[in-house]
Amino acid sequence: MPRRPDPSLDKRVLDAAWRLWKGGDKRLSLRSLARAAGTNTPAIYRHFRGRKEILRALLLRLRHDLYQRMAASATMVDAFDAYLDFALHHPREYQMFYEHQYELLAKWRPGRSARDREKLPAFFWGLNKLADELGGSPESHIPLAVTLWALVHGTASLLISRAVEEELEAEMRAESRRAVRVLMDAAAKR
């Protein structure tokens, strides 16, 4: 009698991959993944083409989680805090995410195709939020959105890398948040 497909296998594999991935990209072998998910490598290959597809699924999951946290924010300043909190609570995943995300961002050019919105949901959410808060079209806020992203990403990266002395971390966060407000106020006056 043929085996029935396990409907929970995708989730089990991705949950196990997430745990292994947090330990470091190199630990995510299909053999260790099969063990951690309570299955075997042929079963994984029936659901995923290989390690690269599993990593892609993890990046999509991470991107979705970040987007959900930002989208729950009432203002761009709140979104800045949500983004920073996410990065600082998931430092390894955040760093790995951007190792792969840079490739996507390097190829992106301003445009509003459905595919762009799908690849960069938090960025397009931010454009719409800026338009809501400041007026104008979402596209008119691309320079500000990129500047705000550079500010929050730079702050997150510096704090994650421990390049800032511990006693200055709270001050850096507060000053970065204040910088977001200053940029938003300046944009509102234009």
Residue 80 shares a structural domain with residue 44: no
Is 82 within the bounds of a domain? yes
Is 160 within the bounds of a domain? yes
N- to C-terminal Cα distance for the chain? 71
Residue 86 shares a structural domain with residue 16: no
Please indicate, yes or no, whether the overall pTM of this predicted structure exceeds 0.75: yes
Q: Which structural domain, as residue segments, surrounds residue 43?
A: 9-48
Residue 42 shares a structural domain with residue 68: no
Residue 127 shares a structural domain with residue 164: yes
Phi and psi at 3, nearest 5°, equal -70, 145
- Mean pLDDT of successive 10-residue stretches along the chain, which has 190 residues: 69 88 71 90 89 84 89 95 93 78 55 62 90 93 92 94 90 95 92
Query: What tens digit of pLDDT does each residue of 18-52 get?
Result: 888 777 656 678 888 999 999 999 999 888 888 88
Is 110 within the bounds of a domain? yes
Number of domains in the chain: 2
Is 22 within the bounds of a domain? yes
Residue 65 shares a structural domain with residue 146: yes
Is 30 within the bounds of a domain? yes
Q: What distance in Å separates the CA atoms of residue 176 and residue 170, rounded to the nearest whole number?
A: 10
Residue 35 shares a structural domain with residue 94: no
Query: What tens digit of pLDDT does each residue of 104-123 get?
Result: 555 555 555 555 667 778 88
Per the listing, tokens 């949901």 go with 121
Contacts within 8 Å (CB) and 24+ apart, 184-187: 184/76, 184/77, 184/133, 184/134, 184/144, 187/130, 187/134, 187/141, 187/144
Is 53 within the bounds of a domain? no
Residue 110 shares a structural domain with residue 168: yes
What's residue 81's pLDDT? 95
Is 55 within the bounds of a domain? no
Residue 25 shares a structural domain with residue 91: no
